[in-house]
Amino acid sequence: MVNKSEAGFTLIELLLVITILAIISGAIYSSNLSALRSWDFNRNRIDLKQNARIVILNLVRDLRNANSISLDGDGFANQDSLELADGKNLVISLSNDQEVEYLLANRELSKGNRVLTATTVDKLTLSKADDNDRLIEIHLELSHNNQAKTITEQVYLRAINW
């Protein structure tokens, strides 16, 4: 006979409690893992947008003050668009007699000797967007961690002399 003062949990009760705790722990872990994946996805998407914005803002600032634009020596005056391909230089001559050089190497865009973006530049195109050739459309495609971002911006060229 079992004395009531020595009463405890049976093996079945302990196994049942352990099983319930395992199920609850698994559900909490699954929920946290899902939230972490979502956070990581959104962080990568925000980084991609910020990198695109950095490139666009730099290009817009330099193009607004451009006297001339050339891609590896080929001028933009007689063309409708320029596409910056891997290994090519985009040179923008500014109104203060300085030149700004953008280089796309290994799908990484740099301005002078400074890398502009930590993401992969898939495509960068400058196109004339109006009849008087003063409005330029910048088309930029970036990708990073299986995510892609396309951004298009228009800039009015103030000082250009075709």
For the chain (162 residues), the mean pLDDT of every run of 10, in chain order, is 70 94 95 94 90 90 85 75 84 83 87 85 87 84 89 86 60
Those residues with Cβ within 8 angstroms of residue 128's Cβ, 6 or more apart along the chain or in another chain: 80, 81, 135, 136, 137
* pTM score, whole prediction: 0.74
The pLDDT, as a whole number, for residue 30 is: 93
Model pLDDT, residue 112: 85
C-alpha 150/C-alpha 138 separation (Å) is 11
Among 126, 72, 64, CA closest to 96: 64
How confident is the model at residue 20, as a pLDDT? 97
Instruction: Give the pLDDT score at 31.
Output: 93
Sign of the C-alpha dihedral, residues 78, 83, 85, 88?
A: positive
